[in-house]
Amino acid sequence: MAAYQRFVREGLKEGHRADLYEVVDQRYLGDDAFVQEVTGRLKNEEPPQAVAVTWEEICKGVFKQCGVSAGAVMDRGKERGAVRIKRVMAWVGREVGGLRTGRWLKP
């Protein structure tokens, strides 16, 4: 806590800094040098490619890995275990398959 208070006090000595309000690239919070560094790194990376997979395949795979049946998950509504499994299915669909989560409710 003392370190944070010291940081704030030192910042107050600088007064108002207009450079902190300049919009460079709204995806990033930081000064020009930071934004250039981050965007430079990202330009060298390949964007992740989605895998061709259906919601049915995702559901079957997650149910198998979790050792549960489709009915056990889909019928439990908001029970903690079912919610956790549904979150996994949504994440896999979105991040791996590039799918939208609205359709997975009907496996």
Tens digits of residue pLDDT in 17-64: 887 777 766 777 777 788 888 888 877 777 777 788 888 898 899 999
Q: What is the largest CA-CA distance in the chain?
A: 62
What is residue 64's predicted lDDT score, i.e. its pLDDT? 92
Tokens of 8: 């704030």
> Mind listing the pLDDT tens digit for each residue in 56-86?
898 899 999 999 888 888 776 677 888 888 8
In sequence order, what are the residues at sequence separation of 6 or more whose Cβ sits closer than 8 angstroms to the Cβ of residue 106?
Answer: 55
Do residues 58 and 93 lie in contact, with contact meaning Cβ atoms separated by under 8 Å? yes
pTM of the model: 0.50
